[in-house]
Amino acid sequence: ETGVTQTPRHLVMGMTNKKSLKCEQHLGHNAMYWYKQSAKKPLELMFVYSLEERVENNSVPSRFSPECPNSSHLFLHLHTLQPEDSALYLCASSQDPSGVYEQYFGPGTRLTVT
Amino acid sequence: RKEVEQDPGPFNVPEGATVAFNCTYSNSASQSFFWYRQDCRKEPKLLMSVYSSGNEDGRFTAQLNRASQYISLLIRDSKLSDSATYLCVVNGGSYIPTFGRGTSLIVHP
């Protein structure tokens, strides 16, 4: 498999559930990102990882917890979410986190919180 | 002033038309610029990077104007398949790439 993959593609969860989103990149990149995309809003950067180390946490509520066990995998653990957290969650990777290089996005997980 | 601003559109043009989008940015120290394309309910995909000298890829031309702090995207001979949202991305030298809201393009027969 090539590129950036994400699972699941769709997720419906209640506010008391705990779930995890998974992202895997097959590009040999050193940086990985989580973004949130809500309707009619620009992409919001949530987290940036460089070689498994978190380098940016963009004021994200603690109910979102990222994990990067190695440079190819990224998780987003979700617990006690709110309905306003319903959105498309996109994972991306790039050669490094400097911003010089383009990002490659996964297909996203469409999350609905009920 | 927002960090990155785009006219949301929609730009509604006939096939074969030439259309141009601008994207303004506020951080004069910005170093890297990109245009992405996003189809409905899909992920963004890189369309082209924007270089200081300007660059062209087929029907698409990107320009950077540092003095006025904007980048532009020109699409010539529009195709129906060009219908999408076009996102500009500006990197200010930090770990945080900033996305614009996107400009919607609809190409009709």
Nearest to B32 among A43, A99, A107 (CB): A99
Q: pLDDT exceeding 70 applies to what percent of chain B?
A: 97
Distances (CA, A) of A59 to A3, A64, A65, B18: 28, 11, 12, 41
Q: Write the pLDDT tens digit of every residue in A52-81.
A: 888 877 789 999 999 999 999 999 999 999
Cα(A29)–Cα(A51) distance, integer angstroms: 9
B105 class by beta-carbon count within 10 Å (0-12 exposed, 13-18 middle, 19+ buried): buried
Q: How far apart are the first and last CA of chain B?
A: 37
With beta carbons less than 8 A apart as the criterion, state whether B109 and B80 touch. yes
* Residue B1 in this model has a pLDDT that exceeds 70: no
* A50 vs B contacts (CB less than 8 Å): 95
Would an 8 Å CB–CB cutoff place A56 in contact with chain B? yes
Q: Determine the residue type at A104.
A: Y
User: CA dihedral in degrees (B93, B50, B89, A22; nearest 10)?
Assistant: -90
- Quick one: pLDDT at residue A55? 80
Q: Determine the residue type at B89.
A: V
List the structure tokens of A41: 């809003």
Cα(A90)–Cα(B8) distance, integer angstroms: 21
Mutate to test the interface with A, among B4, B45, B47, B96 (most CBs of A within 10 A): B96
* Residue A90 in this model has a pLDDT that exceeds 60: yes
Q: Write the pLDDT tens digit of every residue in B30-69.
A: 889 999 999 998 999 999 999 888 899 999 999 999 999 9
Would an 8 Å CB–CB cutoff place A59 in contact with chain B? no
Nearest to B43 among A45, A99, A107 (CB): A107
Q: Determine the residue type at B27.
A: N
Q: Where are the beta strands (DSSP E) in chain A?
A: 4-7, 10-13, 18-25, 31-37, 44-50, 53-57, 64-70, 73-79, 87-94, 104-105, 109-113
Sign of CA dihedral A14, A20, A26, A29: positive
